[in-house]
């Protein structure tokens, strides 16, 4: 059987498989969500957005209409009596971000909803399974309880964690019970001895002077008839986080809590139990707990049963009601931080200096659960580090002043288990001191903690080092997405740097469903933005000033990323004033010359490659060049956003300003031959990516970029240039150069840290130098996601998955893989708002095979590498077998369909072709 016969036989077999089950093909609605969440408690928006996915056994299935019902009870919903909203049939393909448009919703109201759709054949599906969402506290007046703090006076700034308790009676049968809680500081809440919820680090980190989140819990099963007990523990957290060179922490004195328990009885009556002056307070075993320094815990000081009914609290102190505002309280938007997974030690090491080290095998963020049996008074100290030095000794110099240590004193009552409460560490290695026996692997378990974001992306290929790079990118995101997108999770910093955030945002949205996470952070950016429009360097703002180009532009770039990734138009509406204020700030300083020369501190292309070579001064890109380029980019994006939001006057104004900036930029920074004033890789990447050059100079600028890459054989970009260098090279036909950068294993490169054993992305290209020594310990994090921004290129270009810019949120999908170098087998997937998108390709035996999954209610354009052949999927059927003669070579294409949205494309080519 020859190749063509084989392909034809395959086509016939797949054709038979596809049509054999046609009679049983069904379409249904699934995965109902409200504000990106499944059955969420505590919605704060009066017009929440509803989304659903369509599952069909039919190919090319589309939604042509929908019908939403929202009711106050499941019974009404089942009967089709939507007393809150009956949309009727809406002729529309929209199945994401559908605005609720019913009766005005009330605080604490639970809303049950269902949806059905009409398919491409105008046939209605069955109603979906019901889902629900529940409103939070919509008005400050809903809070009947008081802010309280302990009446105990402490002499030292860092004091033991305050404990609060109160007993109350439940006299009737409970229908439902909700706990609403927040704090100034971190809190843990208990009912009848059991911890409420699985969230940690509540209420989260926000712009405390402007916004403070509260959480909502369904505690119905935790209560009982008769006497019940509530308990609360507070920790410093970010609210009182002590950071050197900052006066903010010292200005904030007291930890406070606000809690309200609402009971609804089966007879329809309600009871409120809240924090007030009747509560009691004391301290316990948490002697000290700090974000950066860790926790000191003395188990001998535990108050057994303190949060259960009947505990003797006669010796406890009282509490004081405070006047803290309830007007700043907002519902929680992002997914909470949780304990996500556990890691077990891989090795016990005794260092040359004699220290006992537990190797977790992975640079992680969270803490260790300690399990041991020691006599009363025995104290164990756990110190945490990311790396060992070149001699194999424990290394913590790069932590600067952060101690990140746990000190635990045993009570001596058998095997004791302990986990920290209000602190986290960034580490791989744990130094154990003070243990009287032999340290073993069963003593410590790594508990990985981060915002509980749904995994939505996967990427793998035939190269183990690149697979490890992808692993490192994901773990860098895990470690630094702990309620806030931080730069690092270990040293005395751990801040939401805006520059790191904007370059990594696209990759983050591939890896995880990051929409709500970024939305929450953007609300804080808006809240902390200065009156003149300048955007702080970090969000939440603890460093005061800002306005650095490429950093502050996160105000515009991140909302745009969310719009492109999730079709989220509302985030553009909500952040529009913030975006415009930042652009106007730049405009006020640029003036009529339209060259932005900032007055504030500029970080530029942070940590770009530096060298001592006499013939090359390094890769420093002029900051005025970068500032003007980012000025143009933000104006360009704001112009597009104004058009999307029908702000016609703004759109015209920014279009005119955009043109003026481009003219000024080319006059100031570009020669007539296409050479840039800053002759660096980052300069060319930024100019080409932002569209700053005249069309006639783009190719020459791209050639100069590729020539620089080839001259040095490696990347020289810093934070601002790294994200787009491979994109730019690929776009202008220099795919080989992009792949060479990816495959390079020597410093500087993405794979160099992998060869040094990295399990996360490093802050610097050479955090560990080739000779084994370390970079400057003042700034040398080994868990820093910024350089992991290359992940966006792996998904979009190597695997070829991206959303059409004109149909955001993956309503229209482009599959355009780019094989190169030694890459011959790639598998990638992304759970889009509409469903799973996959692109898997393989080159084997002179055949390129591409397998694609496209979700229902979307269309796709599939481009076969190197041939220029394009297939339309889900909207325009094509022939199953085609032949194309191109440049004297014969290519054969096979297109088959298997089940819903599953397509296989095969291309055979001559054996003398080394790669597509």
SS3 570: helix
Cis amide linkage into residue 748, ω under 30° from 0: yes
Who contacts 80 (Cβ-Cβ below 8 Å, separation ≥6)?
A: 69
171, two tokens: 């006299």
Q: What is the DSSP string of 693-742?
A: S-HHHHHHHHHHHHHHHHHHSS----HHHHHHHHHHHHHTT-HHHHHHHH
| Rg of the chain on CA atoms, in Å | 29
String of b and e for 154-170 (b: at least 16 CB within 10 Å)?
Answer: eeeeebbbbbbbbbeeb
Residue with tokens 């009282």: 318
Is the separation of the CB atoms in 363 and 479 below 8 Å?
A: yes
The helix or strand, by DSSP H or E, that contains position 432, with its residue range, turns out to be strand 425-433
The helix or strand, by DSSP H or E, that contains position 52, with its residue range, turns out to be strand 49-56
Q: Out of 493, 737, 831, 897, which one is annotated catalytic?
A: 493
Is the separation of the CB atoms in 785 and 482 below 8 Å?
A: no
251 part of the active site:
no
The helix or strand, by DSSP H or E, that contains position 249, with its residue range, turns out to be helix 248-251
- What residues are paired with 184 via a beta bridge? 256
Closest CA to 195 of 44, 339, 382: 339
**CA 581 to chain CA centroid, nearest Å:** 25
CA–CA gap between residue 426 and residue 347 (Å, rounded): 18
Is the separation of the CB atoms in 44 and 136 below 8 Å?
A: yes
The helix or strand, by DSSP H or E, that contains position 5, with its residue range, turns out to be helix 3-20
CA–CA gap between residue 793 and residue 135 (Å, rounded): 39
419 part of the active site:
no
Sign of CA dihedral 820, 510, 637, 208: negative
CA–CA gap between residue 475 and residue 468 (Å, rounded): 10
Is the separation of the CB atoms in 244 and 193 below 8 Å?
A: no
Q: What is the DSSP string of 171-220?
A: -S-EEEEEEEEEEESEEEEEETTEE-SSEESTT----TTT-EEEEEEE-G
SS3 521: helix
CA–CA gap between residue 426 and residue 400 (Å, rounded): 13
Q: Classify residue 605 by burial, with Cβ atoms within 10 Å: 0-12, 13-18, 19+.
A: buried
CA–CA gap between residue 179 and residue 263 (Å, rounded): 9
CA–CA gap between residue 546 and residue 528 (Å, rounded): 10
CA–CA gap between residue 801 and residue 507 (Å, rounded): 12
Q: In what order do the strands lie in the sheet with 801-803?
A: 801-803, 812-815, 859-863, 870-873
Is the separation of the CB atoms in 386 and 472 below 8 Å?
A: no
CA–CA gap between residue 691 and residue 734 (Å, rounded): 18
Q: Out of 335, 763, 831, 897, which one is annotated catalytic?
A: 763
CA–CA gap between residue 94 and residue 849 (Å, rounded): 33
Residues found in the chain: 916
SS3 560: helix
Active site residues: 493, 763
């Amino acid at each position: 059987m020859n190749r063509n016969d084989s392909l034809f036989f395959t086509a016939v077999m797949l054709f038979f498989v596809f049509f054999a089950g046609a009679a049983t093909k069904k379409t249904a609605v699934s995965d109902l969500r409200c504000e990106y969440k499944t059955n969420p408690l505590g919605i704060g928006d009066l017009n929440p957005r509803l989304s659903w996915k369509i599952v069909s056994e039919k190919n090319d299935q589309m939604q042509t209409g929908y019908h939403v019902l929202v009711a106050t009870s499941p019974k009404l919903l089942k009967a089709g009596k939507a007393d809150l909203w009956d949309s009727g049939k809406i002729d529309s393909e929209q199945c994401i971000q559908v605005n609720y448009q019913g009766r005005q919703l009330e605080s604490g109201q639970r809303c049950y909803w269902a949806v059905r759709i009409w398919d491409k054949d105008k046939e209605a599906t069955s109603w979906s399974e019901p889902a629900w969402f529940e409103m939070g506290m919509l008005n400050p007046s809903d809070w009947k309880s008081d802010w309280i703090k302990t009446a105990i006076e402490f002499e030292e700034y860092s004091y033991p964690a305050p404990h609060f308790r109160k007993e109350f009676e439940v006299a009737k049968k409970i229908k439902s019970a909700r706990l609403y809680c927040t704090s100034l500081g971190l809190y843990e809440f208990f009912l009848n001895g059991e911890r409420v919820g699985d969230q940690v680090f509540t209420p989260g980190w926000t712009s405390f002077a402007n916004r403070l989140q509260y959480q909502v819990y369904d505690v119905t099963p935790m209560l009982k008839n008769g006497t019940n007990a509530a308990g609360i523990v507070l920790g410093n957290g970010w609210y009182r986080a002590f950071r050197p060179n900052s006066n903010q922490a010292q200005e904030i004195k007291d930890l406070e809590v606000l809690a309200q328990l609402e009971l609804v009885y089966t007879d329809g009556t309600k009871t409120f139990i809240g924090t007030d002056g009747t509560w009691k307070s004391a301290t316990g075993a948490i002697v000290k707990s700090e974000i950066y320094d860790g926790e000191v815990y003395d188990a001998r000081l535990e108050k057994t049963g303190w949060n259960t009914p009947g505990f003797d609290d006669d010796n406890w102190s009282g509490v004081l009601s405070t006047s803290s505002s309830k007007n700043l309280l907002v519902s929680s938007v992002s997914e909470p931080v949780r304990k996500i997974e556990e890691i077990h030690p891989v090795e016990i090491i005794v260092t040359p200096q004699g220290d006992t080290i537990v190797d977790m095998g992975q640079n992680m963020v969270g803490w260790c659960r300690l399990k041991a049996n020691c006599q009363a008074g025995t104290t164990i100290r756990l110190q945490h580090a990311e790396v060992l030095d070149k001699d194999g000794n424990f290394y913590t110099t790069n932590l600067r002043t952060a101690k990140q240590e746990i000190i635990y004193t045993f009570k001596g009552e058998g095997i004791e288990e302990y986990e920290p409460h209000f602190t986290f560490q960034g580490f791989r290695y744990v130094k154990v001191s003070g243990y009287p026996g032999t340290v073993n692997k069963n003593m410590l378990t790594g508990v990985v903690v981060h915002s509980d974001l749904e995994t939505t992306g996967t990427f793998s290929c035939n190269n183990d080092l690149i697979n490890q790079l992808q692993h490192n990118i994901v773990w860098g995101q895990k470690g630094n997405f702990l309620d806030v997108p931080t730069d690092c999770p270990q040293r005395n910093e751990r801040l939401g740097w805006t520059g790191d955030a904007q370059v990594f945002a696209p990759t983050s949205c591939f890896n995880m469903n990051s929409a709500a996470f970024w939305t929450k952070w953007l609300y804080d950016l808006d809240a902390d933005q200065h009156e003149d429009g300048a955007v702080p360097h970090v969000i939440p703002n603890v460093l005061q000033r800002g306005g650095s180009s490429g950093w502050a532009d996160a105000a515009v770039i991140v909302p745009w990323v969310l719009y492109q990734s999730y079709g989220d138009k509302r985030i553009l509406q909500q952040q529009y004033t913030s975006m415009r204020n930042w652009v106007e700030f730049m405009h006020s300083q640029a003036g009529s010359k339209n060259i932005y020369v900032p007055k504030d501190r500029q970080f530029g292309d942070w940590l770009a490659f530096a060298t001592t070579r006499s013939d090359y001064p390094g890769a420093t890109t002029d900051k005025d060049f970068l500032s003007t380029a980012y000025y143009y980019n933000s104006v360009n994006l704001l112009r597009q956003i104004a058009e999307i939001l029908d702000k016609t006057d703004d759109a015209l104004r920014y279009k005119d300003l955009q043109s003026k900036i481009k003219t000024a930029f080319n006059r100031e920074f570009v020669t007539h031959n296409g050479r840039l004033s800053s002759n660096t890789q980052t300069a060319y990447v930024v100019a080409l990516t932002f569209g700053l050059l005249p069309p006639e100079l783009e190719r020459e600028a791209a050639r100069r970029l590729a020539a620089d890459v080839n001259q040095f054989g490696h990347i020289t970009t810093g934070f601002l240039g790294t994200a787009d260098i491979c994109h730019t090279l690929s776009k202008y036909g220099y795919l080989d150069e992009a792949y060479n950068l990816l495959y390079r294993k020597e410093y500087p490169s993405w794979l160099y840290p992998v060869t040094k054993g990295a399990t996360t992305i490093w802050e610097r290209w050479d955090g560990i130098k080739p000779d084994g020594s370390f970079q400057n310990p003042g700034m040398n994090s080994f868990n820093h996601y910024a350089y992991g921004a290359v992940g966006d290129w792996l998904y979009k270009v190597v695997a070829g998955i991206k959303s059409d810019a004109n149909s955001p949120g993956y309503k229209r999908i482009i599959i355009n893989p780019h094989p190169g170098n030694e890459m011959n087998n790639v598998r990638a997937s992304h759970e889009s708002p509409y469903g799973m998108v996959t692109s898997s390709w393989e080159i084997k035996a002179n055949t390129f095979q591409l397998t694609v999954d496209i979700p229902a209610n979307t269309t796709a354009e599939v481009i076969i590498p190197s041939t220029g052949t394009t297939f339309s999927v889900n909207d325009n059927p094509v022939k199953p077998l085609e032949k194309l003669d191109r440049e004297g070579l014969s290519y054969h294409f096979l297109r088959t369909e298997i089940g819903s949205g599953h397509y296989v494309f095969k291309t055979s080519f001559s054996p003398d072709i080394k790669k597509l």
